[in-house]
Chain A
Amino acid sequence: METIVNDFTFNIATANGTGSQSANLILLQTMFEMGVPVSGKNLFPSNISGLPTWYIIRVSDAGYQAPGDRTHIQVLMNKATWEDDIETLESGTVLIYNSDVKMPVERDDLILYPIPMTKIARGLNPKLARMIANMVYVGVIAELIGLDRGILDKAVSKQFNGKEKAIELNATAIELGREYICENFEQMCPFEIESREKNPDSFIIDGNEAVALGSVFGGITLLSWYPITPSTSIAEGIISYLPRLRSDENEKVTCAVIQSEDELAAAGMVVGSGWAGGRAMTCTSGPGISLMSEFVGLAYFSEVPGVIWDVNRVGPSTGLPTRTQQGDLSMLYEVGHGDTKHLVLIPGNVEECFEFGWRAFDLAERYQTIVFGFSDLDLGMNRWICNGFDYPEKMDRGKVLHSQEEIDAIENFGRYRDVDGDGICYRTLPGSGLEPMLYRGTGHDEDAVYSENPEVYVANMERLKRKIDGARTVLPQPILREEPEKQVGIIYYGSMENTIQEIDDILEESGLKVSQCRLRSLPISPVVEEFVDNHEQIIVLEVNRDGQLYGILRKELPIELVPRVHSVAFSDGLPPRARKYSEMIREKLLEVMS
């Protein structure tokens, strides 16, 4: 039998709330520490306990991070999905299953490892048997694919935070799993892990924790938040780091945290804080953005800084709360009634989650408006390999006047008078006694006085447009990877970054060389227009139904470029799989080029 090294996918089917996450993270951490490129995806239900959960681990020397096209090693612990999971397996798949579940396995084309996991676990600790059974499969897998003993032990210790009792119990369960394989099976497992040289700088982190840290280093002074999957761990991350990173010499904190009564209030607190001179942030998902929209409009029009992170889950409505999508992009760009446009930062990896975490505050204060961070469940809640975070650049607190001299230096000061020609006006802060004014969401003139005058309204709206447009060249610029052929270009964004290389390789295998342009912010950089101009056909690739970025591009690109731009958009709630999207790209190109 041919041995496949470092290029296969696990699918571990368990029930929610059984502690399987610990087992899966131990596997992931061990392979990572062995220097093997891995990624883990948790497909979990909106439920506390009992419903099916799958954990997918992709092992790939090529560095592919999307879920693979097929499963090579299936672990079955859950009766509820047993039959369906078995049915989808391709011939030759390794099936490790808990034989105590007493469910049939009627396939003779699979490599079977029936393991009495419950019995083994019960022998160890009857009370905790359900949890420990998961550790038995860790031991089974470790033995079958050749995980390093020492590294695995270390991962167990890390997972249980050095708590000796838990470490001993779980390590024993793992050992019993190993022993059971050695004593009862002679057949070889065709899948094998080989150590690689590990980058000593790398570690594993999820996108939400990276955003949390970026915010803490960005000088956040207020976190107001309302719990919602999949954004909650940003808030919890910030809270967990405040004692270490944001306590002063009197053991008092330099960041307020308020769990609000709803998302309306969370956004209201952000706006109030930004008005008072704070760096405020809230984190939410699509349903929360819907509620926050009135405050986003207020901040846009009254010109108050603030940061809102949207960790996208599947909409519309309550949708699929624990699945991933890029379905909120067009909403974020234009949320609010009337003519509005907002700055949106779109990280594609955990390093950018950190960077945009701090940069969002600088941009919000510079442009005196709401800055959105746009992540998604896949990037936010799954763990990714990270090589480190760069320390932030010098903090930019924007155009704030702190003294009468500064005001006097400006000819004819007015809160909404465009002194510098960039649409960005100077502000003073409450408490300063300087140029006091009443902020309002109603029409106002350059001196912030209520006005319904048509010319005043138009001038103000045009200035706001100029202000936001000015950010196009300042926001994080697209990242281009151009092929000399300049035939087909793909524009994509966000967590699609984790699938694009594999898509590119699949297309190249079929003879198609494509350039790539990863958009990292809205409004769109002029670089995108150049990219479109330089290619004969453009595919806009995204994880939603309607092609939301495609819609924005159609509206904003010069009309003569629009016919070459085509949408490939698909979303089923799962992280994007390379083959599906590359097939759609090929089909779309066939369609438009014929």
Chain B
Amino acid sequence: MKLNIIELPKDDYKGGPSSLCPGCGHDQISNVVINAAWENGVQPEKIAKMSGIGCSSKTPAYFLGKSHGFNTLHGRMPSVTTGANVTNKDLHYIGVSGDGDSASIGIGQFVHAIRRNLNMVYIIENNGVYGLTKGQYSATVEKGSQKRKADANESPPIDLCAMAINLGCTFVARSFSGSKKQLTSIMKAAISHRGTAVIDVISPCVTFSNNDESFRSYGYVKDNQSELHSYDYIPTFQPIEAVEVPEGEYKDITLFDGSTLRLETIGEDHDPTDAVGALSQIHQAEQDQRHVTGLLYYNPEPKTLDEMLNLSDTPLAELDIDKLRPSEDDLASLLADFRA
């Protein structure tokens, strides 16, 4: 049996059987999470998988069965993750959300988790449609989208990547559930990043939104995807020379845990440390009715929430009682001050 660097089989990273529609993009993303965590050699028990409500938020049941998880409330995954994160800062938090969960009901929590630079991977499985309630438009759907039973959507879409960049998010990527190699490299890099890593994954809904004219159908994305770079993720335990450097230019990003994301330029050069350039890429793609995918923005500098809070080195959940409760002397001296 093939084992990873910490000698665990891939089965230790799998979850239960999926109950989503056959062919759902979300299941491909679950497989990417499994592969990324296994290949990175992350201890499953040191991962916490978090989600909100919706088709996407069901998926933590389908991956990482040896990790604790919390399938929370609609749009509220970020706040629950925030509370958990400051309580046990040493875990890897992988949050799964959808476009309804993050761009509509939970947009406030999406915004504020990013503002706090919560140390987590924030995956949005974005299909532009509400699945579980059977096909209503979400807030990320393109203007003019036409569904069988509804009037055309007249409102402009919310671009969660652009929003994340504007909010100072420290790792912003867009990918496609059908681009397994790209998504896996980005997923691994996001796990290795320290801070909020937003990955907006276009994930076609095969039941309600897979007609070819729909912007998030397989056909449309395949034909209209502009990739920023080609990516190779090189883990710490692998010599960097082992990765064959292709023709052309490349740039290495060293991530928090010492691993490397190698960006190989394919088309126009995009510098992921340039927020203005990243926003320009997003807006240009929208104008051209295309999807720009890849690592849009990266900034490893800002402090994460647990660093800003100056929390004790031991996770708060693991502190002994005598660290949590001030002593009897403390109380006596406090009361003496009150009485003075």
Contact = CB atoms under 8 A, between A and B. Distances in A.
B202 to A, nearest CB: 26
A431 B309 contact: no
B87 A277 contact: yes
Contact of B45 (A205, A395, A436): A436
A241 B289 CA distance: 55
A197 B323 CA distance: 40
Chain B interface residue count: which class? 35 or more
Residue of A224, A295, A298, A438 ringed by the most chain B CB atoms within 10 A: A438
Interface in A100-156: none
Given A278-B86, A437-B68, A442-B71, 13 more contacts: A254-B316, A254-B319, A264-B79, A265-B82, A266-B79, A268-B78, A271-B83, A272-B84, A276-B84, A298-B73, A395-B324, A431-B90, A438-B69
A255 B316 contact: yes
B235 to A, nearest CB: 22
A252 B334 contact: no
A438 B83 contact: no
Given A253-B309, A280-B87, A272 B325 contact: no
Contact of A278 (B43, B317, B338): B317
A271 B326 contact: no
B59 to A, nearest CB: 11
Contact of B83 (A268, A294, A395): A268
B108 A431 contact: no
Nearest to B70: A439
Interface string B313-340: 1011111010111101011001100110
B335 to A, nearest CB: 6
11 contacts: A222-B86, A244-B330, A254-B319, A265-B79, A265-B109, A270-B83, A272-B84, A391-B331, A433-B44, A433-B66, A439-B70
A276 B72 contact: no
Contact of A256 (B66, B309, B338): B309
Query: B interface, by DSSP: helix, strand, loop or mixed?
Result: helix
10 A-B pairs with least C-beta separation: A268-B79, A272-B83, A433-B45, A219-B324, A277-B317, A269-B83, A278-B87, A430-B68, A272-B80, A273-B83
B80 A256 contact: no
Nearest to B327: A391
A218 to B, nearest CB: 7
Given A261-B109, A276-B84, A253 B312 contact: yes
Given A295-B76, A438-B69, A273 B84 contact: yes
Contact of B71 (A224, A266, A271, A439): A439
Given A217-B325, A222-B87, A431 B109 contact: no
B325 A441 contact: no
A436 B66 contact: yes
Contact of B317 (A213, A262, A392, A431): A431
Contacts of A432: 45
Nearest to B339: A203
A275 B71 contact: no
Contacts of B79: 260, 264-269, 272
Nearest to B91: A431
A510 interface: no
A201 B85 CA distance: 42
A436 B61 CA distance: 11
A244 B318 CA distance: 21
A253 B116 CA distance: 18
A110 B85 CA distance: 64
B153 interface: no
A28 to B, nearest CB: 15
Nearest to B61: A438
A439 B83 contact: no
